[in-house]
A and B are shown apart, each in its own frame.
Chain A
Amino acid sequence: MRKIFLIIKREYLTRIRSRGFIISTVGLPLFSAGIIAISIALATRPSDHTLRISILDNLGGISGQIVAGLQGNLPNGKPRYEIVKILDRPASEEEARRQLNDQIRAGELEGFIEVPKDVLDGKSASFYTSNTGDFSTLGAVGKAIDNAVVERRLSDRGIHVDDLPKLVHGVDMTMVKVSKSGETEEKGQTFIVGFSIVMVLYITLLVYGVATMRSVVEEKTTRIIEILASSVKPVHLLTGKILGVAAVGFTQYLIWGACGLLLSGYGSAMASAVRPGSSMPDIHVPTSLLVYAVIFFVVSYLLYASLYAALGAMVSSEEEMQQVQLPVTLIIVVGFILYPVIVRDANSVTSVIISMIPFFAPILMVLRIALQTPPFWQIALCILISLLTTLGIVQVSSKIYRVGILMYGKRPSVVELLKWLRYT
C-alpha cells in the first residue's frame, strides 16, 4: 500500500508541476475565452470612418424613418453614416439605380439602400455596396429598414409604435419533465447539461487515457522500469500510475470548476448591474444525473486507462505509441459520434443496445439518463456489464503490462499477446 501511495505521489507531483499541466490548465479557459472574444470583436467591429449612403425610396416617404434608424457616432466622434442623397420616387428607378451604382464605382458612395414600391407587402429591400463582407453595416441598415417598414405598416392600421411591446408580449413557456420516479423537475437546459457532461467525460477519457499510456512508455524507454519492477509489484505500479494520473485530472477539473463558478458569479453580477432584475440562466443539474455520471466515469476511466497502459507496455518508442493507440481512441470517438442516435430517441431499441455496450456506456448511457431517464433496471444492468468488463480488461491489461514492460524490440502480434496472458 505504501508503495502504491509513493507511485501515486510521484506521478501526481511531477505531472502537476510540469509546464504542460500549467499551460493546459490556465491556457485552455483563456484560449477558449479569447477565441470567443476575438471572434465576437471581429464580427461586430464597425468600420472606423463615416459611410456615405444614399437612399432610393420607391415607396415614398419612408426614408425619414430609415435615416432616423441610422443615427449614432463612431468612437472617434464622427457620425457613423452620412446620408448623401434621398431619391424619393424618382421618375425612372432604373436610371436612379444606374446613377447610384456609378457613384459607388467612382468611390463617391459606400452604398445605397433601395426600398421597393411594394415593400409593405413583403418584397425585399436591397443594400448595394462595394463591400459585401461588412455584416455589421448590413445588420444596422437592415434593422433601420425593418423598423421603418413595421412602423409604417402599424401606422397604416392606426396603431402607434410605442404601444407595440404591450400588444405582442407573449406567454413564457416552461417545460416540465415527467420521470419514472414520479418527481417532476424543471428542465430548461436538459440537453445542454447532458451534452456538456458527456463532452467532459469524452475529453477526459481521451486526454488522461493517453497520458497514462505516455507515462508507461516513458518508463519503458528510459529503462527505469527495470528498477521499478525490482522494487514494486507491476500491478501496484499500474494501480499507482492510473490513480496518480486520475488525481491530476481531478485537480484540473477542480481548478476549472472553481474558475467557472467565479466567472458565472461575475457574469450574473455584471448582468444585473447592466440590466437590473436580470440574471444568468440558472442551470439546474439533477443530483441523480451527477451520481450516475461519476459512477460511469470511474468505471470507464479504469477500463480505458488500463487499456491504454497495456498498449503503452506493448511498444518500445513514442513513435510506435502513436500507431497502437488508434484503435482504442477510435472506440471512444465512435461512442461519442453515436450521440445523435440517443438524442433522436433515447429509448429506441438501437439506443438501448448501443448504450449497453460497456465501451460506449460512459457517453451514451449518461446521455440517455440526462435526456429521458431510462428504467432503473437498464441503468443497473449497464453498470453491472461495465463493471464486469472493466474487471476483465484490467486483469488482461495488467498481465500484458506485466510482461510487456520488460520486453523490447518487435511489437507483439495477437498470438504473442495471448501467450503473454499465460506467463506466470
Chain B
Amino acid sequence: MDAVAIDRVTKRFDSVAAVQDLSLRVEQGAVFGLLGPNGAGKTTSLRMIMNILVPDEGAVQVMGQAVSARTQDLIGYLPEERGLYRRMKVREALVFLAAIKGLSEGEAGRRVGEWLERLELAAWAEKKINDLSKGMQQKAQFISAVVHRPALLILDEPFAGLDPVNAAIIKDIMLDLREKGSTIILSTHRMEQVEMMCDAICLVNHGRSVLAGDLRAIKKSYGKNTLRLEYEGADKFLERPDVVEKVNRFGAVVEAKLRPGADSQEILKAAVADGVRLTRFELVEPPLNDIFIEKVSTANA
C-alpha cells in the first residue's frame, strides 16, 4: 500500500489546468520531495491530497483509501504561509487544532503539553501567539502539524525562517517521525535539503510530472558528468568549449558540467599546464539543482 497514490489527476481552474494528467506514488515510510517552480501546481496537488480540492479527473488515495473527511485526520500539514490565531493562547490554539484533527480534548491537551516541552515552548504555553517571536511561532505551528501523530506529514518549506539550531531540532523530529513509520512529503525550493533528506522525488512543471522516481536512481541516470573543483589560480583552463558545457561558480567551489563523452583528463592536463594549484578534483553526479534547472528550462524553452 502506498501512502499516497495520485492516479491521472487533472484539476482545472476556469480553462487553465493547474494540474494535468498527474500520477505519482509515495511509498510508505519515505521522505518524498515534491518539487517544481512557482506556480507549477504543487499546492494544488497537495490540496487534492488533503481533500481541500476535488480533482476534475482521476483519483487520489491516501493510505489506500479514497480521500475523504476520514483521510484528512491521517494528515498533518505545515503550510508555507504560516499563521495561527494571533489572539489565542499558545496551548489553547494548539489543543483546538489537535482536536479538530480528531483527538479528544483531554488527549490533545496532554500531547500538546509534551510537544511544548520538547520544543522548549512550555514557558510560553499561556502567552498569546502574538507575543511569540517569529521562530517560536514557527515551532508552535510545527506542533500543530505533528501533534496528532499523522501517518502522512506534509511540510511546505519547513525550515524557512528557522535558525540553524531550530532547523536541526525540526530535522531530527522529522527523522524520528519517519523512524516511527510516518511518511513525509517535503515541498521545498532548497535542493540541498532534498538531496540530504529525500528518498524519492517528483518534479512538476506546468501541472505535469517531468521527472519522478528514486532520487539516487535519477542522479545515477545522469552519470558522473560534473567536475567539482577547488583551486588557486586563473580559471582559463576551464575555457574549453569542446569539453566543458557549462561552469557554475559558487565562490570556493566551482562545478563544471562536461559535454557527453568528454574526457575529464583534458581539464586536468590544462590545469597542470597553466600552473593552477588544484585542492579538489572530483567527478560527481550532477547536483539536483542543475537537474531541476535543466528540466524546467528545457520544458519552458
Contacts and interface: CB of A to CB of B under 8 A. Distances in A.
Interface of A: 3, 6-7, 10, 14, 18, 218, 221-224, 226-233, 406, 419, 423-424
Contacts of B32: none
B14 A419 contact: yes
B220 interface: no
Contacts of B47: 230, 406
Interface residues of B, number: 28
A424 to B, nearest CB: 5
Contacts of B161: none
Interface string B148-170: 00000000000000000000000
B136 interface: no
B52 A406 contact: yes
Nearest to A229: B52
Given A233-B69, A424-B56, A14 B79 contact: no
Nearest to A9: B96
Contact of A222 (B14, B75, B85): B85
Given A419-B14, A423-B13, A231 B73 contact: yes
27 contacts: A3-B100, A6-B96, A6-B100, A10-B96, A18-B87, A218-B85, A222-B83, A222-B84, A222-B85, A222-B86, A223-B79, A223-B82, A223-B83, A224-B83, A224-B84, A224-B85, A226-B79, A226-B81, A227-B79, A230-B50, A230-B51, A230-B75, A231-B101, A232-B72, A406-B47, A419-B14, A423-B13
Interface string B58-95: 00000000000100110101010111111110000000
A227 B69 contact: no
B17 interface: no
Contacts of B144: 227
Nearest to B84: A224
Lowest 7 A-B CB distances belong to which pairs? A223-B83, A222-B83, A226-B79, A223-B81, A230-B50, A231-B100, A229-B52
A221 B87 CA distance: 13
B194 interface: no
Nearest to A221: B83
B97 interface: yes
B198 interface: no
B54 interface: yes
A87 to B, nearest CB: 73
Nearest to B85: A224
A423 B88 CA distance: 33
A255 B129 CA distance: 30
A424 B101 CA distance: 23
A11 to B, nearest CB: 10
A232 to B, nearest CB: 6
A1 to B, nearest CB: 11
B99 interface: yes
B100 A14 contact: no
Contacts of A230: 47, 50-52, 72, 75, 77
Contacts of A10: 96
A226 B100 CA distance: 13
Contacts of B13: 423
Interface centre among B73, B87, B100, by most A CB within 10 Å?
B100
A232 B56 CA distance: 21
A233 B72 CA distance: 10
Given A14-B87, A227-B144, A230-B72, A424 B82 contact: no
A221 B73 CA distance: 24
Nearest to A233: B69
Contacts of B82: 223
Contacts of B87: 14, 18
Contacts of A229: 50, 52
Nearest to B154: A230
A227 B143 CA distance: 12
Given A226-B77, A406-B47, 4 more contacts: A6-B96, A10-B96, A231-B73, A231-B97
B68 to A, nearest CB: 10
Contacts of B77: 226-227, 230
A7 B69 contact: no
B54 A424 contact: yes
Given A223-B81, A224-B83, A231-B73, A7 B52 contact: no
Contacts of B14: 419
A227 B50 CA distance: 10
B62 to A, nearest CB: 12
A222 B97 CA distance: 14
A184 B293 CA distance: 86
Contacts of A232: 72, 100
B40 to A, nearest CB: 17
A418 to B, nearest CB: 11
A177 B154 CA distance: 68
Contacts of B75: 230
A223 B54 CA distance: 20
A150 to B, nearest CB: 66
A224 B101 CA distance: 14
A3 B96 CA distance: 10
Nearest to A419: B14
Nearest to A226: B79
Contacts of B50: 229-230
Contacts of B52: 229-230, 406
B85 A231 contact: no
B250 to A, nearest CB: 34
B84 A231 contact: no
A193 B75 CA distance: 54
A169 B87 CA distance: 64
Nearest to A408: B81
A4 to B, nearest CB: 10
A174 to B, nearest CB: 54
A16 to B, nearest CB: 13
Nearest to A219: B85
Contacts of A224: 83-85
A226 B78 CA distance: 9
A214 to B, nearest CB: 12
Nearest to A240: B100
Contacts of A231: 72-73, 97, 100-101
Contact of B100 (A7, A221, A223): A7
Interface centre among A227, A228, A229, A232, by most B CB within 10 Å?
A227
A224 B88 CA distance: 12
Given A226-B77, A230-B50, A230-B75, A14 B97 contact: no
